[in-house]
Amino acid sequence: MAQQYIVSARKYRPSTFRTVVGQDALTHTLKSAIAGGRLAHAYLFCGPRGVGKTTCARIFAKTINCTNITPDGEACNECDSCRAFNEQQSFNIIELDAASNNGVDDIRNLTEQVRIPPQTGRYKVYIIDEVHMLSQAAFNAFLKTLEEPPEYAIFILATTEKQKVIPTILSRCQIYDFTRITVSDIVKQLQYICEEEHIQAEPAALNVIAQKADGGMRDALSIFDQVTASSEGNITYRSAIDNLNVLDYDYYFRLVECFLSGNVPESLLIYKEIRDRGFDSQFFVNGLAQHLRDLMVASTPATRTLLEMNDEVSEQYVQQAAKIHPAFFYRALDLCNTCDLNYRTSTSKQLLVELTLVKLCQIMAPTPLPTQQTPAQGIQKIQSAPAATAPARQTTATKAPASQASAPQQPKPAPQPTTASPPAADRPKSGRQMMAATPRIYINKPNDIVQAEEPSGISMSASAVRREAFDENQLLVAWQQYIDAHPHEQVIINTMLMATPQKVNDTLYEIYVENQGQVQFMESRKASIMQFLRDAVKNDMLAIDIKVNEGVSEKRIWTPREVVEGLKQNNPKFTTFLKDFGLGLA
C-alpha cells in the first residue's frame, strides 16, 4: 500500500522552538521564561495568519510539561508527556476553536473543565484559537476564570485580530506579537524542504513563492506544493510564474526603459500584451508601482536592504536604477497612485491606464514650448529658406541688421560717470527679456510654419534633457520674473506672491496656497509656469508640488474689518483705491 501523502504544511510543522521560522526573538523569550520558571497564567499570541501562533502555543504547552528539558530549553521528545503530545494523545493540552464555539455555554463548559487538575504532568494548557470570535457575553463569562485560574492552568489565546479582543481580556494577558516572516527566511526553509524531498528548484522560483506568500509560512508551503505538483519535481522560474499567475518582472523593466526614452507606442503595446495574457489592469498598475518603489530603494546603497529578492534580481534593479533621476521616482509613483485611486470610479479603465503610461513616458522629456507643434498635430515644420529665397514678409527684428548697416554712423557720445554695476551678463533678466529669449514662430501660410533660429543656450531637441545645477535663489528670481511678465493678471500675481517655492531636494520644490480653489487655478497654469522656470534655470527635472496650507485653510466667518485689512495686505492698489474715493469703515 502506497504511503499516504502529507502536505508540507503538516509534514514540516515545527515541533521545537529551534525549528520555528522567523520568530527568533519571541521563541527566545518563551524559552527564557520556561528556564527561569516565570510562567504567566495567560498569554495572547497575535499576528497575521500562518506565522506560527498556534504552533508556538503547542510547542510551549509540550515544553512546560516535559520532565527532561534540554539545556537549551527544548522539550526532550522522549518522556511520556512528550510522546503523548507527539501522538496527539495528551490530556493536558485542550484546544478550543472559538470560531465555532463562541457562545456562553461553550465558555462555561471550559471553565468546568478547568476545575479538574491534571492526572499526569504539571500543567493543563488551554489553547483558544481565533479568540476574537467570542461573543461579548462569552468574553464576560471568561473574565473571572482568566484572571484567577488554578495554579496548574495556563491559557494561551491566539488571534489574527487583536483589536477585536476586549480591553479587559488584553489587560489579563501577556501579549506576544508575531511578525510576518521575511522573504529570505521563507526561501531558506523552502530550500531545506527541497533538499529533504530531493526536488530541484531555481532560487528565483522560490523567491516568487516567498513573495506570493506575503509573510505566511503556511501559505508558502501550500503554494510550494501546488507548484511542485505541476512542475514534476523541477521548479523553474517560468513554471512558478505561470502556475501562480504572477506577472514577470521583465515586463516592468521593459516599461521603465520606455518611460526613460519617451517611447509611448512601445509602452502601450507592452500593456496590450499584458492584457492579452489575462492580467487585471489594476493588478498591473499596482505591480508597476511596486516595481518603481523597488527601483527607488535600489538607487541608494543605504536602502538596498529593503529589496526582498535574491542577489541576481537585485543587481538588475540596481543597474536600471542607476539610469534614473530621483525626481522621476516621485512623479512616477504619484501617477501610479492616482491611477489606482481613480480605477474603481473610472468608466473607461483601459483608457485611464493608457493615459497614465503616456504621462509616465513624458516625465523625462522636457515640456514643449507653447509655440512648438508636435508631429501628432500633423503640422509640417519647414526649415528657414536661404536669404535669396526668403519670404518677403519679415519682422522688424530680421530687418534690423540691414537698416543699421545702411545708416550713417553717429559719433559716440562721451562716456558719463556712472555708479558701479554688475556686468549685463551677470544681472538677472527681467520677465520680458526671458520671454523674448524664446524662439519665435512665423506663419506664412495656414498650413506652413517657419521656425526662426533658436537662441543660443536653448535646445529644442526632445532627446536633450537639460540638467544644469541651480540653487533656491535662482528659482526665486525666475519666480519673480514670471510675475513681472504678467502685470495685468492680478489673480496669478497675488497667488504667486503669497506662495513662494520651498526646497525639498535639488529638483523638487513645494508651494503652499490657502485653499483648494487656488490649487486648481495653479494647476491650470502650471504648464506655462513650469516651462518658464525650467528655461530660466536650464533644468528640465525641476518639479513643483502644490499643497494647501492647513494652517490658513480653516473655515471661519470674517468680520468686515478683517476682510478690508486682508485686501490691503494682499493688494497694495486697494489702499490707493480707498484713499482716492475717500472710502473707509465706520
> Cell numbers 519665435 correspond to what residue?
440
For residues 23-60, one letter each, b for 16 or more C-beta atoms within 10 angstroms of the residue's C-beta and e for the rest, the string is beebbeebbebbeeeebebbbbbbbeebbbbbbbbbbb
What is the arithmetic mean of pLDDT over 437-446?
A: 40
Note whether 5 and 47 are within 8 A (CB): no
pLDDT for 405: 40
pLDDT digits (tens, 9 = 90+) for 242-275: 888 788 888 899 999 999 888 899 999 999 999 9
Phi-psi bin for 47: left (phi > 0), alpha (psi -120 to 50), beta? Answer: left
Task: Report how far apart, in Å, the C-alpha atoms of 8 and of each of 50, 55, 193, 240 are.
Answer: 13, 14, 8, 17
Mean pLDDT of the chain: 78
Residue 186 half-sphere exposure toward CB, CA atoms < 13 A:
32
pTM of the model as a whole: 0.57
Residue 78: predicted pLDDT: 83
Specify the pLDDT at position 43.
Answer: 92
> What pLDDT digit, counting tens, does each position of 380-436 carry?
443 443 443 334 444 434 344 443 444 444 444 444 444 444 444 444 444 444 444
Q: CATH topology for 8-177?
A: Rossmann fold (3.40.50)
The CATH number that domain 183-244 falls under is 1.10.8.60
Which residues, listed in sequence order, are joined to residue 169 by a DSSP beta bridge? none
- What residue segments make up the domains of the chain, in order of their start? 8-177, 183-244, 249-361
Q: Which residue, chain included where needed, has cell 473543565?
A: 113
Predicted pLDDT at 257: 92
Print burial letters for 167-185: b (CB count within 10 Å at least 16), e (below 16): eebeebbeebebebbebeb
Report d(CA 148, CA 82) in Å as an integer. 28
- The whole-number pLDDT of residue 337 equals 92
First to last CA, the chain: 105
Stretch among 453-457, 473-477, 545-549 having the lowest mean pLDDT: 453-457
Amino acid identity, position 138: A
Report d(CA 586, CA 581) in Å as an integer.
15
**What's the CA gap between 450 and 439, in Å, rounded?**
11
Residue corresponding to grid cell 503554494: 223
The half-sphere exposure of 270 on its side-chain side, counting CA atoms within 13 A, is: 23
- In DSSP terms, which residues pair with 385 in a beta bridge? none
CATH architecture group of domain 249-361: Up-down Bundle (1.20)
- Any long-range contacts for 466-473 (C-beta under 8 Å, 24+ apart)? 466/366, 466/534, 466/538, 466/539, 466/540, 467/325, 467/539, 467/540, 467/541, 468/537, 468/538, 468/539, 469/506, 469/539, 470/537, 470/538, 470/539, 470/542, 472/501, 472/503
Give the integer Cα–Cα distance in Å for 489 and 174. 66
| Cα–Cα distances in angstroms (integers) from residue 89 to residues 10, 62, 79, 84, 85, in the given order | 17, 12, 13, 5, 6
Cα–Cα dist 569/538, whole Å? 34
Taking the CA atoms of 144, 145, 147 and 151 in sequence, report the sign of the dihedral they define. Answer: positive
Q: Which residue has the cell 516595481?
A: 291
DSSP string, 48-116: STTSSHHHHHHHHHHHHT-SS--TTS---S-SHHHHHHHTT--SSEEEEETTT--SHHHHHHHHHHHTS
Judged by phi (left if over 0) then psi (alpha if -120 to 50, else beta), residue 532 lies in: alpha
Query: How far is the CA of 567 from the CAs of 38, 279, 497, 510, 574, in angstroms?
Result: 71, 56, 14, 25, 7
Determine the pLDDT at residue 3. Answer: 66
User: Which pLDDT score, from 0 to 100, does residue 156 have?
Assistant: 92
User: Region 453-465: what's the mean pLDDT?
Assistant: 45
Three-state DSSP state, 447: coil
* Pair 317, 207: CB distance under 8 Å: no
Q: Which residues pair with 154 in a beta bridge?
A: 125
